[in-house]
Structure 1
Amino acid sequence: MYMTILFISILCACVIYFLFRQNRLSGLTKAEKLPDALKIILNAQVLYYQKLNKNDKERFENQVNDFLKYVRIEGVGTPVSDIDRALIASSGVIPIFGFPGWKYNNLTNIILYPDTFDQEFQFEGENRNIMGMVGSGYMNGQMLLSRAALLKGFSNQAGKGNTAIHEFVHLLDKSDGETDGVPENLLPHQYTVPWLKMMHQEMHRIEAGKSDIDVYASTSEAEFLAVAAEYFFEKPDQLKHKHPEIYHLLSQMFGQDPAVPFSPPLG
């Protein structure tokens, strides 16, 4: 009789513990989901997100939520809104969406300016022509962004450009120790030489006025990568049609095929 009572007591305790644990985990799961206000922004303003299937949308939301937990966003001369947070996080997630679990270990916080700024990080006065910058030296681990450029990058007038994505690609390039246009952490070794050869050929074409890639891409290998990546994520169909070799190598680099709707990560 005693053993029966003891067994029932233990069984009841196990059931109660299991139910409590399940409820707690369920509560954590709900708490960790992206707020509905940010989902609405993604649906309204992030074309990349809109093209994803249901499962990938959920994965994108989780990565955006995770990004906002480990990267601090602060405004200088402007408040930081939900739109700013959603678009900045999306800009960071898009280039790494083909690499589940990747985090920007070389980024701690983002400083958002109302508009362009100068080399002294001032957003008032003349000579304000910088829309985004990855910090170095004492500014290492920080990114500076123009809010006006951020919003334009996700507007219908963006064309092939997106300043925030551009700067995050610089961070990826920098993750191997050098910002040189060859992200060794992402690009399979067998593609390094073809990428360098193709990049220099296209830079010459840009300088000769024979390419539709923005002229800024011809200033250095690092800028070529960032500008081409903007094109890749913003107008993938157009890039694939006009520059199939560049598109192919960027697909291998980022582990994505954005010109194909609902395509899974490559690899």
Structure 2
Amino acid sequence: MLSTLRRWFGATPALFDDRWEPVLERDFAHWNALTASELERMRMLVARFFHETDWEAARGMDLTEDVRVIIAAQACILLLGLEIDEYFDVSSIIVHRSTVTLNGTHRAAAGTVSDAPQHLAGQATPKGPVVLSWSAVRRGARAPQQGQNVVYHEFAHRLDMLDGITDGTPPLGSESATRRWSDVFTPAFERVSAGDSVLRAYAATNTAEFFAVATEVFFNRPHDLVMHEPDLYEQLRTFYRQDPARRFPHPAPVRCDTTCASRISPDAITISNVAQHPGQEFVPVDDRPTESTRVGGLDVPVLFHILGHLVPSEEALSKST
């Protein structure tokens, strides 16, 4: 709404603050790999995103300027090569300090249903908010070699939603491009469902999650994708109009064990006794829940739509990689 009003009334174009440059150079690894022309466009995109987004701090979150610009820059990487300069119908960005734990029935990998606790790092809903865990955002920005980035994941969902259908196929411009996309993505999805893929198991949840996870690997571990899924890499390179494999030198092999897996902080939010059903919503409770804390009737400002797209936290994901 805020960005729409600015466009209607012809507000002065947003300006990139020079103070943001060292912040991004320090805390967003991909910023330092961009060319001069890419940086010029990125500064414009980041400035617009920063100033035209409605930001909301969840309980206990200190939503500083640095936090907002680091989120903005990661979201804008996906727009860098596209012909659009903004995400549409994002009502707000809600930032939590840490992960959200969801207790109750939920969708799991390969279309299964689970009642195990689900640690969430982010969520995107059609025409609604994007919810992010700052701890996950920060790790993704600083350590792309781990292959996971909650901002890339959630905003890939937002691109997928542009045509009104969240199915892992964003608007591609032609029927032939859509057919080619399906010809490549369908067998790649089948491979991850069978456990034979460079993509983590969460990509097998459904085709929408497959596209979001593939986007993370495309930007963070492009050489792995080129080696194991070259046709998938080519489709993503054509869609995003970027070539991360050329942008980054080929990395040395990295073994990621429990020492580099992220951990859930003790102040993570917990949500209890919530089943995942169509149309149901769940509410984040206090950061340190007590026995008297209940989901129903809480006076809290944020509702999460269960049907939105949920990203497991890095702790949960590390168990499936």
- TM-score interval w.r.t. the shorter chain? 0.7 to 0.9
Displacement after TM superposition at 1:218 (Å): 0.9
Please state whether the residue corresponding to 1:34 is helix, strand or coil: coil
Kept in 2, the 8 Å contact 1:152–1:158? The answer is no
**Compared with structure 1, are the counterparts of its residues 71 and 40 closer, same or farther at alpha carbon in structure 2 (3 Å cutoff)?**
same
| Structure 1: stretches of 5+ with no match in the other structure | 1-27, 121-125, 263-267
Matched, 1:174 2:161: yes
TM superposition shift of 1:210? 1.8
Q: Percent identity?
A: 29
What residue number does 2:242 align with?
256
**1:105 is matched by which residue type in structure 2?**
F
RMSD: 2.3
The answer to whether the 8 Å contact 2:49/2:72 transfers is: yes
User: Comparing both structures, which one devotes a greater share of its residues to helix?
Assistant: 1
| SS at 2:88 equivalent | coil
Q: Which runs of 5+ in 2 are unaligned?
A: 1-11, 104-115, 249-321
Give the aligned residue type for 2:95.
Answer: L
Matching residue of 1:130: 120
1:100 CA drift (Å)? 4.3
Structural mapping, 1:98-177, within 5 Å? 98-118=81-101, 127=117, 129-136=119-126, 140-156=127-143, 159-177=146-164
Aligned match for 1:85, one of 56, 60, 68: 68
* Cα deviation, residue 101, structure 1: 4.1
User: Which amino acid counterpart does residue 224 of structure 1 have in structure 2?
Assistant: F
Whether contact under 8 Å (1:118, 1:129) holds in the other structure is: yes
Supply the distance in 1 between the matched residues of 2:174 and 2:140 (Cα, whole angstroms): 29
**Helix, strand or coil: the match of 1:129?**
strand
Aligned residue for 2:281? Answer: none
Cα deviation digits, residues 152-178 of structure 1 (max 9, x gap): 111227511101110000000001101
**1:149 and 1:160, CA in 2 relative to 1: closer, same or farther beyond 3 A?**
same
Q: 1: distance between equivalents of 2:27 and 2:221? A: 15
The structure with the greater share of residues assigned to strand is 2
Corresponding letter in the other structure for 1:130: L
**Contact 1:188–1:253 (8 Å) recurs in 2:** no
Partner of 1:67: 49
Q: Deviations over 1:22-65 (max 9, x none)?
A: xxxxxx78xx4322231112112223221112222122111100
Q: Which aligned segments of 4 or more residues in structure 1 are displaced greater than 6 angstroms?
A: none
The residue that corresponds to 1:13 in the other structure is: none
Select 1:218's aligned residue among 201, 204, 214.
Answer: 204
Rg: which structure is higher?
1
**Is the Cα contact below 8 Å between 2:124 and 2:154 reproduced in 1?**
yes
User: What is the deviation of 1:142?
Assistant: 0.9
**TM-score (normalizing by structure 1):** 0.77
Determine whether 1:240 maps to 2:226.
Answer: yes
What amino acid is the match of 2:42?
F
SS in 2 for 1:74: strand
Structure 2 residue matching 1:131: 3-state secondary structure: strand
Deviations 1:194-224 (A, max 9, x none): 3223222122222332212111111101000
Alpha-carbon distance change, 158 to 149 in structure 1, aligned in 2, over 3 angstroms: farther
1:36 and 2:7 equivalent?
Answer: no
Kept in 2: contact 1:39–1:61 (CA 8 A): no
8 Å CA contact 1:188–1:252 kept in 2: the answer is no
Q: 1:60 to 1:142 in 2, by over 3 A?
A: same
Cα distance, 1:187–1:219 mapped onto 2, change above 3 Å: farther
How far the C-alpha of 1:246 sits from its partner, in A, is 0.5
Instruction: Tell me, in whole angstroms, the C-alpha distance in 2 between the residues paired with 1:118 and 1:103.
Output: 30
Alignment CA distance shift 1:218-1:187 (3 Å): farther
- Equivalent pairs, count: 224
Q: In the alignment, which of 173, 186, 194 is matched to residue 208 of structure 1?
A: 194
Deviations 1:133-189 (A, max 9, x none): 1124xxx321111111111111227511101110000000001101100112x4543
Separation (CA, whole Å) in 1 of partners of 2:91 and 2:125: 11
Secondary structure of the corresponding residue to residue 86 of structure 1: helix
Q: Residues 161 and 170 of structure 2 are in contact (CA less than 8 Å); yes or no, is this contact kept in structure 1? A: yes
1:128 Cα deviation (Å)? 5.7
Q: What TM-score do you get using the length of structure 2 for normalisation?
A: 0.64
